[in-house]
Amino acid sequence: MRIGMIGLGRMGSNMVRRLQQGGHECVAYDHSADAVKAVAADGAHPASSPEELVRALKPPRAVWIMVPAAVVDAVIAQLRPLLAAGDVLIDGGNSHYHDDIRRADELKAAGIHYLDVGTSGGVLGLEQGYCLMIGGEADAVALLEPVLATLSPGGRMPAAAGGRAMGGQAASRAAATMGYLHCGPCGAGHFVKMVHNGIEYGLMAAYAEGLNVLAHADAGLTTASAEAETAPLCNPRFYQYRLDVGAITEVWRHGSIISSRLLDLTAAALARDPRLDGFAGHVSDSGEGRWTVEAAIETGVPAYVLSAALYARFESRGRAGFANKLLSAMRLGFGGHVEKAR
C-alpha cells in the first residue's frame, strides 16, 4: 500500500522505515529537508511539500500525520483543500480526543475520513513494532488495516479469516493479539491512549518511589545530630544496607512479577549511570496524564495513583516551592521553628 507520512521525528521516521521494510511505499514530508533526506535514503519517496505528497498518492489517499498535537489543526488546514471524498487522514500523535471528535465532524462534510490512532512504542518501535489504539469509522480502518498490521508488533494481520472478525470488522479482537485494535468511533483511539499514558505515569512513579526507598536504606549509617526539627530514626540498626540498586533492578527483570519494559529501561539507565548524575530530575508531562485525571473527575472515577503521579511531576519542576515556603513560614509563626539550612 502507498501512504503519505507528514512528520519525520523520532517516531514518524521509524514508522516510515518499518512500513518500507514491510513492503509498503511511503511518501514522506517534513519541514526539515534533512529529515526527508534521511528516510529517502532508506527507500521512501521524498516530497518537498504537502502538495507534492498528495499528488504522489492515488485515490483513495491515506495521509498519516505524526506531529505535535499543537500543530495538527494547521497541518489538516493545509491538507484539506488537497484531498477528496474517500481519502483518509490519520493522526498518530497524542491529540486530545475532544479535538478528534471535532475534526472528524469537520472533515465528514467533505467526505474525508479521519482516524485517531494512539501510538505506543517510542524509539523501540522500529524493531519491536507499535501498539496501535484506533478510533474512527470501520470502513476507513479496513482500508488502512494492511498498514496498521505492518506497524504493529505482530507485523501482520491475524491468520484466522484474513484478520477479519466474524462480522467482517477490521482490527477486531483477533487483531489485538497482534498489537492493534479498533477501539471505537472517532476519539476512542486517543481516549484509550490517554488512559494508557496516565497508567504509564503511575507505573513510572511506583518504580521511582520504591527504588528511592532502596537507595536510602543506608540512612542508619549516617550519624544525625539530635535536634527538635526532624524526627530521628527510631532504630538506625534497621537501615544499614548499602544496596546496589542497579543490580536489584536487573534481578527483578528475570522472573519477577513486576518485570516490564519500563523496568528494562530503568535497569539499562542505572547500568550506564548508577547515580543518574546525567539527570536533573525535572520531569515533564505532555498532557495525557492531566487529561486522564480530568476524565476521572468528570466521570466520578477514583484515580488516586494516577493523580498523585501527575502531581509528583509538577513538584519535580519546582511548582511546590512557594507552598513549601508557606509551610515553613507557618511553622515559624506558630511554634518558632526555624527552617534548617540545606
Cell reading at 292:
486522564
**Grid coordinates standing for 167?**
462480522
For this structure, is 200 an active site residue?
yes
Helix (H, G, I), strand (E, B) or coil at 25: strand
Angle between helices 304-316 and 288-299 (to 10 degrees): 140
Nearest 5 degrees, angle CA 188-CA 191-CA 192?
90
Name the catalytic one among 108, 193, 209, 250. Answer: 193
CA distance 210 to 332: 32
137 is catalytic: no
- Out of 37, 200, 288, 340, the active site residue is 200
Task: Quickly list DSSP for 116-138.
Answer: EEEEE-GGGHHHH--EEEEES-H
Which residues does residue 115 pair with via DSSP β-bridges, in sequence order? 90
Burial 129-166 (b: 16+ CB within 10 A, else e): bbbbbbbbbeebbbbbbbbbbbbbbbeebbeeeebbbe
Catalytic residues: 193, 200
